[in-house]
């Protein structure tokens, strides 16, 4: 038996059309061809593949088992080609092939998910790469051109080589489990008491903030590269530390965590900035995403506060 030949895209499209339309005659109408041409195309496809796609022993042809199996492949090939044509069209119009973004771990998850879903709906042909990091690691990814857009936290300088806009801030509050000694302290907790208990601190994977301690006052601290790990340790009473208010809101309401009344540390505004390199400006899709994030920060129900005034995304 000879090996199957290579079918044409037109043959596969006719094959799918016959199934979707329900008959050879209706497929011919849909494709603006004669029924004889459709039948001839299917016969050639069967000859190429060396299998019978339709059982013609009955009045109405039906798919054979081989036809059922190969129909799925035909659909996949057609959809891939359609996607390729759409992507090529968008590229020819100046739309970038991919957008890469690095996001500070403190950025509200709900806001991030909403923005990413909106982007994928708006630009289905544009690839999207996402990195979530802490502190200086976001700026490092942008500076090394690993990511084109960054949402960074505070404590960083932006030289002339960067474009940056304020995105707002999230509230950081000191918390601990209700069984933690600091949570059981009556009244305002003095700094001396806080120093005696392990503080859980988010660490920077980059070297941009090396040697700098931000609101770290305890004699003993645990350095964590993952905010989820910090959250888990806090819930289990293995230290105290600051967390984004939006992330622990449910824990506070349900009593799994309590806000600490520290003399030296109340709610802290963790500033967020949207950045990109001046010599690596985002394309149309990237600029759309940046503007969406800015508009999102302005909404009244946003977990970000004091959203920026009118901002124009530079091209």
Structural domains of the chain sorted by starting position, each given as residue range(s) with its CATH number in brackets: 9-92 (1.10.10.10), 98-169+270-298 (3.40.190.10), 171-269 (3.40.190.290)
Q: Is the pLDDT of residue 208 over 70?
A: no
pLDDT of residue 93: 64
Under the banding of pLDDT at 50, 70 and 90, the label for residue 312 is: very low
Q: Is the pLDDT of residue 294 over 70?
A: yes
- The CA–CA distances, whole Å, from 181 to 67, 80, 130, 175, 230 equal 70, 60, 39, 12, 18
Contact status, residue 243 vs residue 170, Cβ threshold 8 Å: no
Per-residue pLDDT tens digits for 244-289: 999 999 999 999 999 998 887 767 888 899 998 888 888 889 989 9
pLDDT of residue 30: 87
Q: Is the pLDDT of residue 64 over 70?
A: yes
Per-residue pLDDT tens digits for 106-135: 999 899 999 999 999 999 888 899 999 887
Under the banding of pLDDT at 50, 70 and 90, the label for residue 311 is: very low
Average pLDDT score over residue span 23-46: 88
Least confident of 41-55, 205-219, 300-314: 300-314
The overall average pLDDT reported for the chain is: 84
- The CA–CA distances, whole Å, from 218 to 178, 239, 268, 297, 312 equal 19, 10, 17, 34, 42
pLDDT of residue 120: 93
């Amino acid at each position: 038996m000879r090996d199957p030949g290579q079918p044409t895209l037109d043959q596969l499209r006719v094959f799918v059309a016959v199934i979707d339309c329900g008959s050879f005659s209706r497929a011919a109408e849909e494709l603006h061809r004669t029924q004889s041409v459709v039948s001839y195309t299917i016969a050639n496809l069967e000859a190429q593949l060396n299998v019978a796609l339709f059982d013609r022993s009955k009045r109405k042809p039906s798919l054979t088992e081989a036809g059922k199996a190969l129909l799925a492949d035909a659909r996949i090939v057609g959809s891939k080609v359609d996607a390729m044509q759409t992507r090529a069209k968008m590229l020819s119009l100046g739309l970038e092939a991919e957008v890469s973004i690095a996001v500070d771990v403190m950025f509200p998850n709900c806001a991030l998910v909403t923005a990413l879903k909106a982007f994928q709906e708006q630009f289905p042909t544009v690839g999207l790469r996402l990195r979530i990091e802490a502190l200086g690691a976001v700026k490092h990814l942008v500076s090394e051109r690993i990511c084109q857009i960054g949402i960074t936290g505070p404590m960083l300088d932006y030289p002339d080589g960067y474009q940056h806009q304020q995105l707002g801030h999230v509230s950081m509050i000191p918390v601990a489990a209700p069984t933690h000694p600091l949570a059981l302290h009556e009244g305002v907790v003095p700094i001396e008491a806080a120093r005696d208990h392990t503080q859980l601190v988010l660490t920077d994977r980059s070297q941009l903030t090396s040697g700098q301690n931000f609101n770290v006052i305890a004699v003993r601290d645990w350095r964590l590269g993952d905010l989820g790990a910090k959250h888990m340790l806090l819930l289990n009473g293995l230290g105290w530390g600051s967390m984004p208010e939006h992330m622990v809101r449910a824990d506070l309401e349900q009593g799994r965590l309590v806000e600490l009344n520290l003399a030296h540390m109340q709610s802290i505004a963790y500033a967020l900035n949207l950045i990109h390199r001046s010599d690596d400006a985002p394309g149309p899709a990237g600029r759309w995403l940046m503007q969406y994030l800015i508009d999102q920060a302005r909404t009244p129900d946003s977990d970000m506060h004091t959203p920026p005034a009118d901002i124009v995304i530079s091209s």
